[in-house]
Amino acid sequence: MLPARAVLLPLLLGSASLAGCFVDAPRLNATNSPQDLGFGAVSLLSSGGFSMDVPIEAYFLGFDAKTVAAIAEKLPPTVIEHAASSTDRAFPPSADTTPLGGQSLPASAKPRASFHVVDFDGATEAAFAAAAEGWKVPAVEGTYDANAAEAWLAARVEDARGRPLERAHPVFVVIHGGTSLGDHAWRYNFSHGWLDRLRIFGERLPLTVFDVSAQPDPFVVEPHRSPEAIAFGTAFGPTRPADYDWPLNATGEKTVAAVAQLTLDSAHWRFLKGPTFPISTKPCHHVTLLLAVHTTAITEALPGWVRAKDSIDVESLRSAFVNLTSDDVSVDLKVLALPRDDPVLDALAREGGATLAGLDVLRWYLDENFETFVMPRQGCEEYLSLLLWGDAATYASTGGISMYDVQRSHRLSFSFVPETKRVQEMYEGPGEEFVNERNESRVLWNWATMLYAHETGHLFGQQHPQHVSRVNEGLGTSHSFEAIYSVMGYQQDDRMVDFGAVDHSTWTMGRAGYSIAEAQERDLVGSPELADALTRLAAGDWIGAHEALEARLEEERTDGSPALPEYHFVEILDHGER
């Protein structure tokens, strides 16, 4: 059994990491080195991967200096020990396995958050209040344009730090509107709609903004009884609003404690988030979108509905995956007519979404026939994402699930689009106001593409903004961080298909960790390639750390061995072990 706290093997890569949190004037020295901001020496983990100090820049606007200093005192360096997972191949489940069950694995990156606090001055606060007068949304009283605020704050942060924002290292901005904004909330516009009554927004640009003076977000503070919420509530534990989910005063002990906890939580849920599944270290990625359409679906024949194939925006999906990874990604759409093209898949699809057992059978069938379904691209990681376009007899709820069979290196997901749901969501024609559940804040026809993006995003290692899996504390959930620019969030629903700057940052950091872990497994410790990777890592260059090893790792894989060695997955982590 792998110990819960892995042994560190220190490397001499520069000065010792910074030991605490800093409060700065509203302008940082533009000549600050990465080490000045909190990047520290790198250590290799015996379980594979790295540990190091990673700075989180936190900017505060609307608080007095005493309050910000008190918040900073409550932000010690914090180790983030997240866990990834895998899916068991065992089928059918036995007494030792569970349906859709898997192993809990230590993530390859174990960063230590080093908080770097910046207090904006009164002049910046006054300028923010003045600019906000032009951000009012006329249609909704007390609502302000969050996209405009995001752009304005990004420019002020760049002025303060003396250099541009970086997608690899997004920053956190906590604001308090004081009396200038009154009783207020925010509207954020996505590519396919908008959300109102928000307290958190951003990540289209490299920053996350949280307004602790805004009105509560109903999605966060009101109970959710959707099947997904119930299922995840069972798996991740009950969801309770945090102290910072309600309007706070600009000062006081309660504010200090709540905002400090908010900033600590931002490290876990956003900026240093671990992956759902181990991230591929291959040089390219190939996604096969498998669209299985029941030819008996009435909506495929009648006017007023878009056909299944025409509703999938392949180029938007490819662009989203490139935006996430900054890698070479190709996407193909493969269409099956059911039952003609695959009678077995047709039969499994009709009941597969109703029970865990049905889902497990469908997962097993896709796993067993993975090579039949994918359209492989030589040298690339393969991702298979199935969308079942059902008919009136399909018994399933809307949604999907993703899995990673590490023993076969199969990444696969499947989603369901029942015909009854399509009628409610997608019909356009006479009497549509009585038929569908149209919401003016959403653009129709993005639903199926969103399901592909979300579930395939899991295969790339992306987690929901509301969920984490922590090594020593188990599973956790918080809807507080959900309404950000990411297709992985439930709250934005089908209003977008893209990934944000924080998604990109956590993906590239995680991939660097798995590249280093693979180098360790292949006995490359001491090689010039690994030394180069660690030097780049110590400067926070996640992409460069991977690129330094990429060619050498490809050479080492000529024997046909997998990119992610099996040793990661035979050492099962026990969440209960301390």
Domains of the chain: which residue ranges?
Answer: 8-101+108-270, 284-460
CB 479 within 8 A of CB 466: yes
pTM of the model: 0.88
Query: 566 pLDDT band (50/70/90 cuts)?
Result: very low
CB 384 within 8 A of CB 428: no
State residue 96's pLDDT score.
Answer: 56
Which region, left, alpha or beta, applies to residue 463 given φ > 0 means left and ψ of -120 to 50 means alpha? beta
Q: Which of 15-29, 140-154, 482-496, 534-548 has the lowest mean pLDDT?
A: 15-29
Architecture of the structural domain at 284-460: 3-Layer(aba) Sandwich (3.40)
* Nearest partner of 288 among 370, 406, 350, 408, judged by Cα: 370
* Nearest partner of 277 among 399, 406, 407, 89, judged by Cα: 406
* Nearest partner of 70 among 259, 241, 204, 215, judged by Cα: 259
The mean pLDDT of 37-61, rounded to a whole number, is 89
Structure-model confidence comparison of residues 425 and 409, the more confident one: 409
State residue 246's pLDDT score.
Answer: 96
Cα–Cα distance measured from residue 49 to residue 110, given in angstroms and rounded to the nearest whole number: 8
Q: Is 95 strand, coil or helix?
A: coil
Cα–Cα distance measured from residue 166 to residue 143, given in angstroms and rounded to the nearest whole number: 29
State residue 195's pLDDT score.
Answer: 96
Q: What is the pLDDT of residues 344-362, one digit of tens each?
A: 998 888 766 667 777 778 8
Given a cut of 80, whether residue 17 has pLDDT beyond it is no
Cα–Cα distance measured from residue 463 to residue 505, given in angstroms and rounded to the nearest whole number: 13
State residue 547's pLDDT score.
Answer: 97
Given a cut of 50, whether residue 4 has pLDDT beyond it is no
φ/ψ of 149, rounded to 5, equals -65, -40
The mean pLDDT of 522-546, rounded to a whole number, is 95
Given a cut of 60, whether residue 156 has pLDDT beyond it is yes
The mean pLDDT of 443-462, rounded to a whole number, is 90
Given a cut of 50, whether residue 340 has pLDDT beyond it is yes
Name the average pLDDT for the chain: 83
Cα–Cα distance measured from residue 391 to residue 405, given in angstroms and rounded to the nearest whole number: 29
Query: 211 pLDDT band (50/70/90 cuts)?
Result: very high
CA angle (333 as vertex; 417, 292 as ends), nearest 5: 35
Q: In this structure, what token pair is assigned to residue 62? A: 């609307």
